[in-house]
């Protein structure tokens, strides 16, 4: 039976449900499913989580609000006639490269460096023009629900989702031994998925290197 939200939160008699996994009718399936997904998205980094956003850095501004579904920034580019990659710096190096005058006020110019906090990206100057941008980032996908029955976890990484759901279900039943065993499985599956994505990226970089060398 294909994995989906309806099946996962069904009763104990339904094969493939969370209650069926742990043979217990009282586990709170919706709560467990939500916790499992949150835990997975904290550490899973695969192609299906990569997202692109486009917009404009508005003239006379020095910051940009991050998408609400962002987990981590991959890269940020100015596009259009004045294109180029913005260097994403940690906060310490960003502060050292700020373009400021004697009063500490930001200069006006083309954003080149940036950093971020929990909600915004900050630029090293005040934009002197409108700059179209392209942001690549790791997205936290929408959680499974009655209106979102499947996602890439259910179709490609069902082993991860099942193991993490079992972990939280057994934890809810205070069966620490089985909870730990399922968490170990889930972490192993996630590690493998992350390694496969890293290998995919490395292969692309290798091909790019040899194409330039050729």
Handedness of CA 39, 42, 45, 49 (dihedral sign): positive
Please name every residue paired with 133 in a beta bridge, in sequence order, or none if there are none. Answer: 55, 78
151 in a domain, yes or no? no
Structural domains counted in the chain = 2
Which of residues 106, 139, 172 is at a domain's end? Answer: 139
Q: Output the tens digit of pLDDT for each of the chain's 214 residues.
A: 679 999 999 999 999 999 999 999 999 999 999 999 999 999 999 999 999 999 999 999 999 999 999 999 999 999 988 999 999 999 999 998 887 887 878 999 999 999 999 999 999 999 999 999 999 999 999 999 999 999 999 999 999 999 999 999 999 999 999 999 999 999 999 999 999 999 877 765 554 544 555 5
**Residues 50, 139: contact at Cβ < 8 Å?**
yes
Counting runs of H as helices and runs of E as strands, what totals does the chain give? Answer: 7, 9
Q: Are residue 165 and residue 205 in the same domain, yes or no?
A: yes
Q: Would you state the pLDDT for residue 213? A: 55
Q: Are residue 177 and residue 94 in the same domain, yes or no?
A: no
CA proximity to 194, closest of 33, 47, 34, 35: 47
- Strand order from edge to edge, sheet including 113-116: 50-57, 131-139, 70-78, 84-88, 113-116, 120-123, 63-65
Q: Are residue 38 and residue 53 in the same domain, yes or no?
A: no
Q: Are residue 105 and residue 165 in the same domain, yes or no?
A: no
Provide the residue range defining the domain that includes 33.
Answer: 5-46+157-213
């Amino acid at each position: 039976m294909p994995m989906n939200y309806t099946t996962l939160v069904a009763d104990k008699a339904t094969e493939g449900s969370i209650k069926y996994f742990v043979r217990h009718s009282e586990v709170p399936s919706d709560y467990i499913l939500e916790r499992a997904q949150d835990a997975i998205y904290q550490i899973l980094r695969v192609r299906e989580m990569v997202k692109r956003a486009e917009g404009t850095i508005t003239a006379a501004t020095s910051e940009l609000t991050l998408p609400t579904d962002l987990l981590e920034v991959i890269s940020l580019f100015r596009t259009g006639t004045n294109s180029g990659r913005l260097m994403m710096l940690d906060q310490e190096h960003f502060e050292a490269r700020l373009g400021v005058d004697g009063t500490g006020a930001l200069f006006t110019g083309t954003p080149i460096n940036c950093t971020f906090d929990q909600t915004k990206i900050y630029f090293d100057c005040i934009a002197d023009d409108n700059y179209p941008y392209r942001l690549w980032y790791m997205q936290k996908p929408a959680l499974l629900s009655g209106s979102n029955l499947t996602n890439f976890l259910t179709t490609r990484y069902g082993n991860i989702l099942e193991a993490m759901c079992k972990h939280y279900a057994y934890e809810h039943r205070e069966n620490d031994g089985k909870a730990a065993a399922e968490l170990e499985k889930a972490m192993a599956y996630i590690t493998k998925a992350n390694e496969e994505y890293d290998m995919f990226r490395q292969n692309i970089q290798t091909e790019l290197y040899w194409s330039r060398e050729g």
